[in-house]
Amino acid sequence: MDDPVLHQSYAAAAADLSVPWQAETPPDPALAWLNEDLARELGYDPAWLREPAGIALLTGQVDADGHPVPAGGAAPERPFTTAQVYAGHQFGSPNPQLGDGRAVLLGDLLDTTGRRRDLHLKGAGATPFARAGDGRAPLGPMLREAVVGESLHALGVPTTRALAVLTTGEQIAPRQGVTPEPGAILVRVAASHLRVGTVEYAAWHLDLDARRALVQYAAARHLPEGVETKSTALDLLEHVTRAQAELLAQWMLLGFVHGVMNTDNMTLSGEGIDYGPCAFLDEHRSGAVFSSIDRGGRYAYAAQPGIALWNLSRFAETLIQLIDEEDPNAAVEQATAVLEDFEPHYLDAYGRRLAAKLGIPAHGEGADAEHLAAIRASGAELFALLEEQHVDHTGFFRALTDADPAALFADPAPFTSWYEGVLALRGSGASAEAALAGMDRANPVYIPRNVHLEAALRAAHLGDLAPAYALLDAVRRPCERRAELAHLEGPGDGGEHFMTFCGT
Ligand code: AMP
Ligand code: MG
């Protein structure tokens, strides 16, 4: 098998949106976890990645052509790897200058299925965009990204994923507390690293040609071929809007709270990215906030779809001039029409996926709007009930097939009457049977529960990776109950007051 060839297609296509930048040389790099399936999918031999040359590649020690440089070898005069610049709205306020502060883009490659993927190294040292940051990443948060990414991927949610997590051999200043932490590098695989914030940066700092080149590149990377109907910019807006609507519907039904949905953490690909202060709901709580920096609850669980649309509106603003250069009013009208499409898309995706979780037939183009609306109404009633009676979000759905769900409610009467409504929506016959049979695949047994994830990361900090491996094993086959992983199934104790402090 030939190793995949790394490119820097973004730097070649988009001027002034990245700088060549060399990753630091870590003193004593070691693999903490290698995603062997993903390695093969990319075209890498996992055994080779474990060798010194593979470790050199995974830590960004590459020559001017992107080939690994053995330990002690000289860094190239002009680095192959790059640091990307972007801007963004952080908690609602524009920040004109952000970027890869502690990461480099190792390159992009064509994977074994013909898809172009980015390889990105987080924790590779300070770059020109580091501002006051130290360029370091601690092991805990990098493992967290790996676990959350694998979990979401296994649940069918578009997401960036970890190819590997390495320790650097350094102890770094803690983000919190006083105990130094192991330094780490996350090797992240993404459909691209184009963010809403990337296009904001271009709109705020670059000329029209550079902005056009960026939109062309984004379109080439993310739009299916041959669909262009209007302007490329408008097509891109439409694609991103739909992809994000689909993503948010999935997050909401899984009880996933991203925690820091700034525009620089929203991709054009529709993949989730930057899982810093994220968490899954235990008890269903619409106002759940797990991030210590989100004091106002801007990114609370129930606020997420609205925030996605807010972010998309900022994205649309950056595209107006490119949509119609002569007639800005016409461009605004067209962009508005696309944004108005977010809600129906979201509701449709949400309805269909909720139906799958409840075992109600609703697939295919034939599922009519009224039926889906009834399913969503039933869902709203359910979530109010779960919230009132402090019922576990994930545990509830799985109990529908595995246990007696009524037993989860202190007062089961409202649940029982709600459930009659579900049975009526389910109906009978072959399609009802099929929907029922599919429920176990829509409702995970294992998600990265806050308490269990935190315990695994604490153990990793102390040098014991076994709990992190067990959690990875659980979430990578999330719907398949295994006796030896029983301890990872429920919410554990104390998760409801869980808070994350780590940055992304
Ligand atoms: P986030 O909100 O965590 O997605 O990141 C905001 C910005 O801060 C990004 O541009 C990061 O690259 C940067 N950043 C976060 N931590 C560090 C660090 N330790 N050193 C340098 N830059 C950082
Ligand atoms: Mg970020």
The residue segments making up the domain with residue 463 are 450-497
pLDDT for the residue 498? 76
pLDDT for the residue 489? 96
Q: Are 440 and 479 in contact (CB under 8 A)?
A: yes
Query: Is 504's C-beta closer than 6 angstroms to any atom of ligand 1?
Result: yes
Same domain, 245 and 393: yes
Low pLDDT (below 70) residues in the chain: 1, 227-228, 363-367, 496, 501-504
Same domain, 20 and 124: yes
Nearest-ligand number for the alpha carbon of 84: 1
Please report whether residue 204 resides in a domain: yes
Query: Is 265's C-beta closer than 6 angstroms to any atom of ligand 1?
Result: yes
pLDDT for the residue 366? 58
- Ordered DSSP codes for 200-232: HHHHHHS-HHHHHHHHHHHHHHHSPTT---S-H
**DSSP character at residue 366:** T
Phi-psi map region of 63: left, alpha, beta (phi>0 left; psi -120 to 50 alpha): beta
Same domain, 84 and 136: yes
Please report whether residue 367 resides in a domain: yes
Please report whether residue 1 resides in a domain: no
Please report whether residue 503 resides in a domain: no
Same domain, 418 and 345: yes
Ligand 1, atom 12: nearest CA belongs to which residue? 101
Query: Is 120's C-beta closer than 6 angstroms to any atom of ligand 1?
Result: no
pLDDT for the residue 175? 82
Same domain, 64 and 159: yes
> How many angstroms separate the CA atoms of 462 and 468, rounded?
12
Name the residue of 175, 266, 504 to mutate for ligand 1: max ligand atoms within 8 A of Cβ: 504
pTM of the predicted model over 0.95: yes
Of 166, 193, 220, the last residue of a domain is 193
Of 144, 168, 193, the last residue of a domain is 193
Please report whether residue 4 resides in a domain: no
SS3 30: strand
SS3 376: helix
Of 443, 460, 488, the last residue of a domain is 443
Same domain, 121 and 135: yes
Query: Catalytic residue numbers?
Result: 264
Closest ligand 1 atom to 136 CA: 19
Distance of CA 144 from the midpoint of ligand 2 (Å): 14
Please report whether residue 171 resides in a domain: yes
Instruction: Return the CA Rg of the chain.
Output: 23
Query: Is 503's C-beta closer than 6 angstroms to any atom of ligand 1?
Result: yes
Query: Is 91's C-beta closer than 6 angstroms to any atom of ligand 1?
Result: no
Same domain, 238 and 357: yes
CA angle 387, 146, 85 (to 5 degrees): 100
Ligand 1, atom 10: nearest CA belongs to which residue? 99
Nearest-ligand number for the alpha carbon of 272: 2
Same domain, 107 and 182: yes
pLDDT for the residue 365? 59
**DSSP character at residue 61:** -
Distance of CA 19 from the midpoint of ligand 1 (Å): 17
Number of compact structural domains in the chain: 3
Nearest-ligand number for the alpha carbon of 265: 2
- Ordered DSSP codes for 113-139: TS-EEEEEEETS---TT-TT--S--BH
Same domain, 320 and 201: yes
Same domain, 248 and 337: yes
Same domain, 106 and 236: no
Same domain, 436 and 457: no
Nearest to 491 by CA among 446, 458, 461, 460: 446
Please report whether residue 2 resides in a domain: no
Please report whether residue 338 resides in a domain: yes
Distance of CA 402 from the midpoint of ligand 1 (Å): 42
pLDDT for the residue 504? 47
- Residue 263 CB neighbours (<10 A): 28
- Residues 135-169 have pLDDT tens digits of 999 999 999 999 999 999 999 999 999 999 999 99
